[in-house]
Structure formats: C-alpha cells, structure tokens
Amino acid sequence: MTTQEPFDAYSLSEEHEAVREAVRAVCDAKVAPNAAEADETGEFPKASYEALRAADFHAPHIPEQYGGAGADALATAIVIEEVARACASSSLIPAVNKLGTMPLILAGSEELKSRFLPPVARGEAMFSYCLSEPEAGSDAVSMTTRAVRDGDHYVLDGVKRWITNAGESRFYTVFAVTEPGARSRGISAFVVDKDDPGVSFGAPEKKLGIKGSPTREVYLDGVRIPADRMIGEPGTGFATAMRTLDHTRVTIAAQAVGIAQGALDFAAKYVQERTQFGKPVGDFQGIQFMIADMAMKLEAARQLTYAAAGKSERGDADLTFFGAAAKCFASDAAMEITTDAVQLLGGYGYTRDFPVERMMRDAKITQIYEGTNQVQRIVMARSILR
C-alpha cells in the first residue's frame, strides 16, 4: 500500500490544545489549592467557581448567541477533564451546567433559551438536573412527581433526590408526570427557579467523595409555574432526558479521565522521589509495570472519551453507544488507576496528607451517577443487539 502523505495519527487541533493549556493554568493556580479544603469542609468551593467564571470555563458549552463561549463538545470535555484533574468537586460546575441546560438546548423554545441560558453564560446562575427520585433511580420512568395543568400554569408536587449542586444552582430542569399511566410518554420537562414559591431543599448528603459539590433533595410543594416553562411538547420530557444523557455521559467520562490523570501525575512523581533499599521506588520493575498499566488504561479511556465527544458534537446515530461506552470504560479505569495510586504511595496514600485518597473517593461516583455502569452495559448491549 502506498500513500502520497505520511500517515497522520490522531491529534487534537491547536485550538483544543490551547484550551487545555488555558484551563490547566487557571486550575493549577486557583482551583487545585482549594480542593483539599472543599473536601475537608464539604463546602461549595466558591473561590474555584469565581476563578472558572472569570476565565469563562464555568459553562463553556453555551452557544455564542446566548452569550456563551460556544465551545464544542470536545473542548467542553477538555475543560471538565482539566478541572477534574485539579478538583473533582469543581469539575461539576461546568459538567452540571451542561447537564441542566442540555434539555433546553436540545428541545427548548427560543424564548426559553433566550431567557435562561444567558444568566448561566454570564456566571450569574447555575443550572441543575432533576430526574432521580427516592423510588425512581435507574427506573426513572417510575417517577411520581406530578405536574398538573391549571389554566395557563402547571402545579408541581414531588421530591427529587441526588440533585448535584442543589441549593447552589438557581435553575433546575425538572421532569414530572403530566399524563399518569402513559409511562415514558406521560413525562414532561420544566424549568424551575429556586425562588419559585414552594421550592425547598433537604440537608446536604454526607458522601464518600465530591464533598465540595452539594447533593440535596429538591422539594416541590405546590410549585406553580407558567405553562411556557415547559421544555418541548407535553409528553416528550423522558425522551429529552435520555437524549441529554447521551451527550452528558461524555462529560462524566471526561471527569473520570481528569481524576485519573491527577492521580497518575502525583503517583509518578512520588515514586521517582521516594527511596527504599537505596534507590527510587520507581526503579523497581513491579512499580514500573503498575505505572505502565495505569497510563495505558488512562490513554485508552481518553481516546474513547474524545471519540464520543466528536460524536456528541455531530449528533451521530451511534452516540448512545459511544456515550455509554466512554462513561463506563473511563469511570472503571479511573477507579482502578486511583486505587493503584493509593497503593503506590503505601501508607502515605491512605492519609489525607496526600491527594490520592481523595481522588480515589471522588472516582467512585463516576461509576454510579448519570446511570450506573451496569445500566451503561445494558445501554450498550441494546444498541448492538437491536
């Protein structure tokens, strides 16, 4: 086989590399220093949010026509990856802003987009996503939150659980039953403002990781909102929710890649500095094999994530498979890599004096939220078998 030009291996564009450099500079200087404190106190890292907002990395995906940076899906994934490398909790700022606003971007009216996207783009508000309920996690169709039509309004009643950044976000995409008995075709989506009468929040959950990102229940007690705050047509909410997750599972994959990269970076530096038996620990072949396996799994996860991001940007027909595959593979890899990083540091890795134990705890949630990895495997299998 002959070619006129040498084979050009896959590489990021100069623009995407520039995004990485810019985000890493901000995160190294103004996000990473806050990570341990956010984990220790369980408080939202406001200083990190301000740093991301000042650099326009808090919601980079919002289109330029609504005042956003207009970053494509790959650039957004790189932003989330780099923030997660420094602080997983802070990476949920751009990630959840995308999760909360994607239903509007995919299915919202122009009036809704023009009203609710610009405040997020300006950093004046964050946007969360309310799908799960106490008895409706993986089985989201079984939700019981109701939205009853009353003239030119809807009245919402119910409880949403596991809502990321609840209380900190101003806006919420809420999924509720508008036609009981119709299963997935009876669910609609709405924009709810935290200042709407009847909206309240539970106490922050006491979590294993991502402690700087509050997770609360959202209570809807007779919340009366204008009918024009429905996203899309009645009964299309569940389809919009699933389309959203096809895109945002890529962001969770990116988060997992970033957490894993942070752990590998720290562990690789440590084994070159730590000496035992008269030489650096990194000179031992057993340690080198661990580092090699960590780097190999990480790069495989990154490439799959970037491929999925490209499919997200184009809206490819196989995005559902690739989004699930990237999220599943990257999160499993992150859990393995961070666990190995703790092992490489030995007893020190088990202490809070070093960041890898935090990274291991943070990595665990990436295997669970936005669909457990068991659910991702179901999604992938159905995509292949149908």
Catalytic residues, by residue number, are 370
Pair of tokens at residue 376: 């991702």
Alpha helices in the chain (DSSP H): 14-30, 32-41, 46-54, 73-86, 88-107, 110-121, 237-273, 285-314, 319-345, 356-365, 373-385
* Dmax (CA) of the chain: 80
SS3 355: coil
Q: Please, which residues have CB within 8 angstroms of residue 22's CB and are 6 or more apart in sequence?
A: 55
Instruction: Scan for tokens 């080198």, then name that residue.
Output: 288
Query: What span, in angstroms and rounded, lies between the C-alpha atoms of 103 and 56?
Result: 21
Using alpha carbons, select from 73, 69, 88, 89 the residue that is nearest to residue 22. Answer: 69
C-alpha distance from residue 155 to each of 58, 237, 266 (Å): 31, 16, 51
Q: HSE of 121 in the Cβ direction (CA atoms, 13 Å)?
A: 18
Instruction: Scan for tokens 């009245």, then name that residue.
Output: 155
Are the C-beta atoms of 143 and 188 separated by less than 8 Å? no
Pair of tokens at residue 107: 């299915």
Query: What span, in angstroms and rounded, lies between the C-alpha atoms of 254 and 306?
Result: 8
The 10 Å CB-count burial string (b at 16+, else e) for 361-386 is bbbbbbbbbbbebebbeebbeebeee
Are the C-beta atoms of 189 and 230 separated by less than 8 Å? yes
Pair of tokens at residue 90: 């802070």
Backbone dihedral angles phi then psi of residue 192, each to the nearest 5 degrees: -120, 140
DSSP 209: S
Strand partners of residue 116: none
